[in-house]
Structure 1
Amino acid sequence: MERLPVIAIIGRPNVGKSTLFNRLVGKKLALVDDRPGVTRDRREGDAHLFGLDFRVIDTAGYEDEDPKSLPGRMRQQTERAIAEADAALFLFDARAGLTPLDEEIARWLRGTETPVVLVGNKAEGNAGEAGLYESYGLGLGDPVALSAEHGEGMADLFARLQPYVEREAGAEADGEPEEGGPLKLAIVGRPNAGKSTLINKMLDDDRLITGPEAGITRDSIAVPWEWQGRPVELIDTAGMRKRARVKDKLEKLSVADGLRAVDFAEVVVLLLDATKGLELQDLKIADHVISEGRAIIVAINKWDVAEDRKGLFEGIETALGEGLAQVRGVPLVSISAVTGKGIDHLIETAFATREAWSRRVPTGELNRWFRDAIERNPPPAPKGRRIKLRYMTQARTRPPSFVLFGTRVDHLPKSYERYLLNGIRNELGFGAVPVRLTVRAPKNPYQDGSDGR
């Protein structure tokens, strides 16, 4: 019988280790109680998570005790379990935030050879947001936010465990990065911009119904495709008119379905009609795409019948720069869905845009840039009291999201945040993809004085 990969759960007492263990094995094998220290021996079970099969170990709560005492012997069992595991899940209570014991466990785990996945439990709703941001300071990478009791966040846990479980199970690695799967490309725009015609041309097949009537497409249709040997999932959506003009209930449902399709896309192509130019509704659609954190490309369709092409292109480019100030330099390409001209350039741009959207900056490189940025332009000192910016970490990709830690950051002007965001985009290779920045004060910041000076 083949050995299953082993995943050990570790954390201080009463953070929900046994609850997560029970959820992973699908049975209530471990006792769960509000009192700390219920689990004493290692408990093992076969876990199943969205097709991943592995052996999971529920360890006793890690406590700093004399090795001869009962808690000390329990800790020794935990240390043995971690040494034997292929990866460890380090659980902390996101609602309660970090404790000195959490920080001690993190220091110990950083010194082991076992890969560690940081997990913020009890993070249902927004209850654990502050604790999750605080946990970036542990130096164990991005936390997975979940609720073991309610089953929230298990898909994110699957994504983080998959590389360790499949590697140890002997699954063949194809060497592709996370963004190496099918490019999920949604085509959005106003009615009759040529979305279905464009997809039919890509497929070289009349796969979708087209015609001069606006509103033929009602459902968001996902169609698999391959471009130069690279997989693409094309998503056609219903035309999006101004809300005031959408009276029919079915059309309302179709537009809502199209908006939801944006959530499942990686890159969104906003298709314009060259004979109509850029309208306010187009900017509203683009703003929705950006607010959802999706990468966007603007494509001017019907280029083969456009008049004054140079003036049209420059006019749209200027209007996009003014109307989408939060993301400057959105890629703008011209195409013809009828002739196929420009489609290869569009797809090539989409893959490059996804690469930027998926980019992760190493913490060292990020903070070298960060130190240079604040040296070039130090943060202000409102009422003579310094805002001290400490460090920055990339919380996630897709969209790229960063967390800035410092003291008195609640007084940091939005203009300074924009300065940092623009620097991240322009100097760290993110281009025009949406980038997010959150500022956080550490729970126990270093003190330079009672007023932060």
Structure 2
Amino acid sequence: MRQGSRKKNKLQPGLESKIAGRTVHAINRSHIVLFVIDAEKGISLQDKKIGGLIQKAFRPCIIVLNKIDLLENSFDRRNWGKESRLLIQRELPFLSYAPVVALSAEKKWNYQSLFTAILLVDQERKKCIPTHEVAEFFQRTLHQFPPQPIQGKRLKIYYATQLKDKDSSKAPPCPTFVLFVNNLTLLKAAYKKFLEGKLRQTFSFTGCPILWKWKKAQGKKPLLIQK
């Protein structure tokens, strides 16, 4: 796959912002975004900007590498899945949760893999983990890998649950977890990233970003997860 930025197209003043606005609108209306990338040209700066918009919108995503037939003589098909995932991890690390499907729209190659990926991600985005399983996950994880104390104080998670809404129009766009803690200032980005990795190892959520809502426990402490 060739790398490098595409040549900039000369657009009329204001046209680029209109296109960006339509892209954002389309992303925000989507249950699952099919992010199509030209496999021959590689991942451009514009692709990275669109990937950032998908991340910001917290939308489930499948990355589609189109025109793969133009590269059939330049890669080993047995390693293509691994190579494509490494490419995404390197160029679009914020979308590393998204499955990658290589296909040819012109020659109709590998469409079945795309349909399979869509069904899987749709199932994953609707997955609801019972609260007792969420609690057990955090109890086990925090016991095995407790957060480092900061100035003698340690982060404690009192209660955790997956946000659910029976009204589908109000449901969050991706798996969303609400956690009540003792002190928000003890919550560090590195530990949040670590917890998300462990959560994915346990519950998968293929193709879905995970939205965290961290809150300070007020008044009477909820059910204690971490002593």
Q: TM-score range by the shorter chain?
A: 0.7 to 0.9
Distance 2:147 2:58 in 1: 27
Match of 2:206 among 428, 431, 443: 431
The TM-score normalised by the length of structure 1 is 0.42
User: Does the C-alpha gap of structure 1 residues 393 and 344 become closer, same or farther in structure 2, counting only changes over 3 Å?
Assistant: same
Bigger mean CA offset, 392-401 vs 375-384: 392-401
Q: Which residue of 1 aligns with 2:195?
A: 420
**Correspondence list, 1:282-293, <5 A:** 282-293=47-58
Q: Is 1:301 paired with 2:66?
A: yes
For 1:381 and 1:242, how far apart are their aligned partners in 2?
50
Q: CA deviation at 1:390?
A: 0.9
Displacement, 1:329?
A: 4.1
Q: Which residue of 1 aligns with 2:168?
A: none
Map 1:370-385 onto structure 2 (within 5 A). Answer: 370-385=138-153
Structure 2 counterpart of 1:343, from 111, 129, 145: 111
Could you say what secondary structure the match of 2:163 adopts? strand
Q: Which amino acid aligns with 2:52?
A: D
Measured after TM superposition, the shift of residue 279 of structure 1 is 2.1
Q: Would the alpha carbon gap of residues 328 and 252 (structure 1) be closer, same or farther in structure 2, given more than 3 Å must change?
A: closer
State the partner residue of 1:444.
219
**1:368 maps to 2:133:** no
The answer as to whether partners of 2:38 and 2:66 remain within 8 angstroms in 1 is yes
Runs of 4+ in 1 over 6 A off after TM superposition: 241-244
Report if aligned partners of 2:154, 2:186 keep a CA contact under 8 Å in 1. no
Of Structure 1 and Structure 2, the greater strand share is in 1
Partner-residue secondary structure (3-state), 2:25: helix
Secondary structure of the structure 2 residue equivalent to 1:309 = coil
Alignment match, 1:234: none
Paired residues of 1:363 and 1:393 also in contact (CA < 8 A): yes
Q: Is the 8 A contact 1:394 1:400 kept in 2?
A: yes
SS in 1 for 2:212: strand
Asked if structure 1 preserves the Cα contact closer than 8 Å seen for 2:155 and 2:181, the reply is: yes
The yes-or-no answer on 1:264 pairing with 2:39 is: no
Aligned to 2:169: none
- The answer to whether the 8 Å contact 2:66/2:103 transfers is yes
Partner of residue 161, structure 2: 393
* Inter-CA distance 422–245: structure 2 relative to 1 (3 Å threshold): farther
Does structure 2 retain, via aligned residues, the 8 Å contact 1:388–1:409? no
Aligned to 1:74: none
Q: Larger % of helix: which?
A: 2
Task: Summarize the Cα distance change of 1:247–1:411 in structure 2 as closer, same or farther, 3 Å threshold.
Answer: farther
Answer yes or no: is the 8 Å Cα contact 1:425–1:432 preserved in 2: no
- The C-alpha deviation readout for 1:134-158, integer Å capped at 9, x for no partner, is xxxxxxxxxxxxxxxxxxxxxxxxx
Q: Secondary structure at the match of 1:438?
A: strand
Q: Which runs of 5+ in 1 are unaligned?
A: 1-240, 447-452
Q: State the aligned residue count.
A: 207
> Could you give the per-residue CA deviations for residues 23-57 of structure 1, whole angstroms, max 9, x where no partner exists?
xxxxxxxxxxxxxxxxxxxxxxxxxxxxxxxxxxx
1:108-257 aligned at under 5 Å gives the runs: 246-257=11-22
CA apart distance, 1:243:
8.8
Partner Cα separation in structure 1 for residue 33 and residue 7 of structure 2: 19
**Alignment partners' CA distance in 1, 2:209 and 2:99:** 13
Residue 180 of structure 2 is matched in structure 1 by: 405
Change over 3 Å in CA distance of 1:290–1:341 after alignment to 2: same
* CA distances 1:300-356 after superposition (whole Å, capped 9, x unpaired): 111222241338765543231134434434211111111211112112201211211
Supply the distance in 2 between the matched residues of 1:371 and 1:298 (Cα, whole angstroms): 34
Give the CA deviation at 1:426.
2.1
**Counterpart Cα distance in 2 of 1:349 and 1:290:** 19
State the alpha-carbon separation in 2 of the partners of residues 245 and 316 from structure 1. Answer: 31
Structure with greater Cα Rg: 1
**1:251 offset after TM fit, Å?**
5.0
Counterpart-to-counterpart distance in 2, 1:303 and 1:441: 49
SS in 1 for 2:161: strand
Q: Distance in 2 between matches of 1:368 and 1:314?
A: 33
Report deviation, 1:382. Answer: 0.7
Give identity over the alignment, percent: 24
Higher RCO by CA contacts (8 Å cutoff, separation 6 or greater): 2
What is the CA–CA distance in structure 1 between the aligned matches of 2:143 and 2:219, rounded to whole Å?
25
Deviations 1:164-218 (A, max 9, x none): xxxxxxxxxxxxxxxxxxxxxxxxxxxxxxxxxxxxxxxxxxxxxxxxxxxxxxx
